[in-house]
Structure 1
């Protein structure tokens, strides 16, 4: 069973990535109401985001080897079922602790969507072609920050659980679509048995690839900027007078710029080449972050939004190219390589973003300084990878 057209395949893989993003962005307007319902401090609402990322990191380490051994399709279908069950638990969790555990497992199963999508693209493309396909898939993903917060605000009058229900419905639709149309991209002769020796051999191939390791570090720092923004945005914009619909519009506007970055990236890679595009995007990101603390010294909602939107635009421009570069020499173990880079970059990003969030507590200047450190780390790792 296979897709009739490559465009449908790319759109479906983008929808998988978008499902992960919707699971985060649509609940952001409901964090305050959720903590109030369970009688816990408002600051603990951020755990519904950060613990999702923790489960997401752990799941990536498992699903890559499984997808290499059994194929992309069966692993994806099983993960979608697990995601549906965990998402359903968020709708009926009687305690905040159980809700947190449901989010961990939701992130765990959601990790398969990114691993399978990335590995499937790597099965079919490499180098600049892979970067273009990743950009196209990520364009679908970036509909989430544009639409999800406004959708969350619209659903909130139905109860704080209503935004949690949307990813469940979306996952059901993606499961049915995939069951009917998702074709296997990994032929049986290219599969790697799920054995300790095989896994160790594949892991050694990844560990010996200096470029893959350093780009994994760079991806962790890039994701750290994004995750710190996601966790801090409701509190940060709230301090500047943006809440409810205002927050949703600001968040969605940044998402539109990120979608534009993905549209531009394919042409940029074609015109400049993958290596040069990476150098320029990481340098531009560092420069943008270097001036962010100055904007944060005298913050206004519009000024900070514009500067953060530029930062996220550049992060989005750099991400698919860095991912493609990390996996370029690892086609033999694409699933394991996607798991390795995904697991360690996401785990690193979660730790870094939590550190920035806890240190800044929504204050603009400490938040900006934290992002600058992440940008410097990403820049140095990228330069080291290409040295």
Structure 2
């Protein structure tokens, strides 16, 4: 009888068809999106049921999830390089299921928030391992294309997740949203372990040591392409996270859209999905560097347009105008999401696990700080959203141009 370790780290030589590989990797990232976005319609109800002290505390149900992701990536990055990709996914999903149980059984908001951190800590295992799997098998523009195709499927989840959350909450209650998470995790794990082999041979594994870890981190910190891309990813996603955390308040309270919130959220998510599909086609023709340059500049233009509309209309532009500007802006941001990650990962093939952990956790910490800061000021005005996108898209431009200059 095989041990868990031998089963999970067994090297299999078969290569999955590209389409199946992309869908399988996207399923793990989609589980992260589902765990975030399905909660959005339920934030106020959860807060009321669990005696939350303020709407801002409800936002932590979203924001603290990213804290768990950042912490988990620091652990699972070295783990993935030392023990392989399959065991990383197995351990991560077990932790995720434990966190899901804590959330389901929670009796106050503090316990639920603790469970959310455990959930995210666990999901960082599949996230790191899936990124490392892609890097093990692809590089350069081909890797950017695969990442973009994964993002297409990944973005489908934010389009439907709030609808799923609202449907489950209406018929079964908000606690069963966590039951849905558990079912998706089981399906993902079963598919993965039946079909996808290990991509990191035992001979290429790096035994964990603090010396190797610290030297790897030092190398990453001194690599201009890695750092510039990671900082850019953190700042632009921070502005996006500020919007994401406050999105329920923006649409249901500031704009009073009621039950239409999931549909509007899906429409804006579609823009990012369309960008990822566009990128998967164009990246092989133009290259990710050219696309990143173009998308970074246009993200700055979008941010100024958003801020101008907020100022002109005294903190609240018409709903149609806000949606139009955000839809166009999210298209350019969607191009950045997949490409910046690929740009940062390209130089780190020899330490893909630690590299993915550093890039993911460092960019996530930056984005959480920015996102929490912005969302705390969203009450009856969209000015924090406009200012946030403007300031941090400019910082993204500076960071990304620094990375590209050193790549060339």
- State whether TM-score is above 0.5: yes
CA distance in 1, matches of 2:349, 2:281: 24
- For the pair 1:88 / 2:120, whether they are aligned, the reply is no
What residue in structure 1 maps to residue 397 of structure 2? 379
CA distance in 2, matches of 1:361, 1:128: 42
The structural deviation recorded for 1:76 is 0.5
- For the pair 1:74 / 2:87, whether they are aligned, the reply is yes
What residue in structure 2 maps to residue 135 of structure 1? 148
The structural deviation recorded for 1:362 is 5.2
What residue in structure 1 maps to residue 302 of structure 2? 288
Instruction: Find the partner of 2:355 among 333, 337, 352.
Output: 337
Q: Please identify, of 353-362 and 59-68, the stretch whose mean Cα deviation from structure 2 is larger.
A: 353-362
Q: Structure 2 matches for 1:201-280, cutoff 5 A?
A: 201-280=215-294
RMSD over equivalenced CA pairs, Å: 1.4
The structural deviation recorded for 1:96 is 1.5
Check conservation: 1:242, 1:301, Cα contact below 8 A. Answer: no
For the structure 1 residues 244 and 187, does the alpha-carbon distance in structure 2 shift closer, same or farther, using more than 3 Å as the test? farther
CA distance in 1, matches of 2:230, 2:381: 29
- TM-score, length basis structure 1: 0.96
> What SS does structure 2 have at the residue aligned with 1:193?
coil
Check conservation: 2:44, 2:58, Cα contact below 8 A. Answer: yes
Instruction: Find the partner of 1:118 among 106, 125, 131.
Output: 131
Q: Please identify, of 295-304 and 248-257, the stretch whose mean Cα deviation from structure 2 is larger.
A: 295-304
Instruction: Find the partner of 2:329 among 311, 318, 330.
Output: 311
Give structure 1 stretches of 5+ with no counterpart: none
What residue in structure 2 maps to residue 325 of structure 1? 343
CA distance in 1, matches of 2:282, 2:212: 38
CA distance in 2, matches of 1:152, 1:217: 32
CA distance in 2, matches of 1:251, 1:228: 14
Check conservation: 1:3, 1:181, Cα contact below 8 A. Answer: no
CA distance in 1, matches of 2:282, 2:254: 35
- For the pair 1:10 / 2:22, whether they are aligned, the reply is yes
What residue in structure 2 maps to residue 31 of structure 1? 43
The structural deviation recorded for 1:238 is 2.0
Check conservation: 1:136, 1:262, Cα contact below 8 A. Answer: yes
- For the pair 1:196 / 2:210, whether they are aligned, the reply is yes
CA distance in 1, matches of 2:166, 2:67: 25
The structural deviation recorded for 1:213 is 0.8
> What SS does structure 2 have at the residue aligned with 1:94?
coil
Matched residue pairs, number?
387
What residue in structure 2 maps to residue 166 of structure 1? 180
CA distance in 2, matches of 1:115, 1:60: 7
Check conservation: 1:293, 1:365, Cα contact below 8 A. Answer: yes
What residue in structure 1 maps to residue 114 of structure 2? 101
What residue in structure 1 maps to residue 31 of structure 2? 19
The structural deviation recorded for 1:39 is 2.0
The structural deviation recorded for 1:36 is 0.8
The structural deviation recorded for 1:85 is 1.4
For the structure 1 residues 165 and 42, does the alpha-carbon distance in structure 2 shift closer, same or farther, using more than 3 Å as the test? farther
- TM-score, length basis structure 2: 0.92
